[in-house]
A and B are shown apart, each in its own frame.
Chain A
Amino acid sequence: DQQVKQNSPSLSVQEGRISILNCDYTNSMFDYFLWYKKYPAEGPTFLISISSIKDKNEDGRFTVFLNKSAKHLSLHIVPSQPGDSAVYFCAASAFFQGAQKLVFGQGTRLTINP
């Protein structure tokens, strides 16, 4: 039972254009959402997050949008750069047994073409 889903295994975008990565979740108890970026042979690194009380959070070229009614979030990268080529994981968080627990999606491989 995949509570967090990234339905696009891969995405290819031209340099300078907007990259949009999507994520859906099923559990309404999730109250915090994060995006992680992963380069080959490295561990995932935190990129940006959003609380469930907000619908948008922006950090430089990266913006995360949250649509709670649709249980959907997206990550926008604009303009896209070659260094953005990586696997992006969406994660959702809730408190279980008194501690924050993250549930990750399957990941989307983003390729930025020059």
Chain B
Amino acid sequence: DAGVIQSPRHEVTEMGQEVTLRCKPISGHDYLFWYRQTMMRGLELLIYFNNNVPIDDSGMPEDRFSAKMPNASFSTLKIQPSEPRDSAVYFCASRVPLGEQYFGPGTRLTVT
């Protein structure tokens, strides 16, 4: 298996633009997580899905952030409009019930 796949690996955009991050979980994993890594707060859970259904989005910073999982093999995290303080590394992870989480390589987002 190729593991969790994320795209793009790097994204540089201007303030106010829409940003879409993509994730393909490991086949057969029915939990999908989106995290944000910053120096100050480490890894923060933004939202997670179970069987494509959002279960807990309490970590989503504000309404500018949205996430979808239209099917078992694809999820998006969208920021609209983006702001410089959104600059961070965003990770997607997946797992089976009671299993370990497997992380993707991350997307480094820079908003100027």
Contacts and interface: CB of A to CB of B under 8 A. Distances in A.
A99 interface: yes
A38 to B, nearest CB: 8
Interface residues of A, number: 24
Contacts of A2: 41
Interface residues of B, number: 25
A89 B93 CA distance: 15
B97 to A, nearest CB: 8
B42 A6 contact: yes
Contact of A106 (B41, B48, B100, B102): B41
B42 A43 contact: no
A69 to B, nearest CB: 25
Interface string A87-114: 0010100001101111111110000000
B106 interface: yes
A91 B100 CA distance: 12
B56 A97 contact: yes
B76 interface: no
Contacts of B101: 46, 102
| SS of A interface (majority) | strand
A108 to B, nearest CB: 10
A59 interface: no
Interface in B56-95: 56, 91, 93
Given A41-B105, A45-B103, A104 B50 contact: no
Nearest to B41: A106
13 contacts: A43-B104, A44-B91, A46-B100, A96-B56, A99-B31, A99-B50, A99-B55, A101-B56, A102-B45, A102-B101, A104-B43, A107-B42, A107-B43
B50 A106 contact: no
B26 interface: no
Nearest to B38: A106
Nearest to B50: A99
Interface in A24-71: 34, 36, 41-46, 49
Contacts of A101: 45, 48, 56
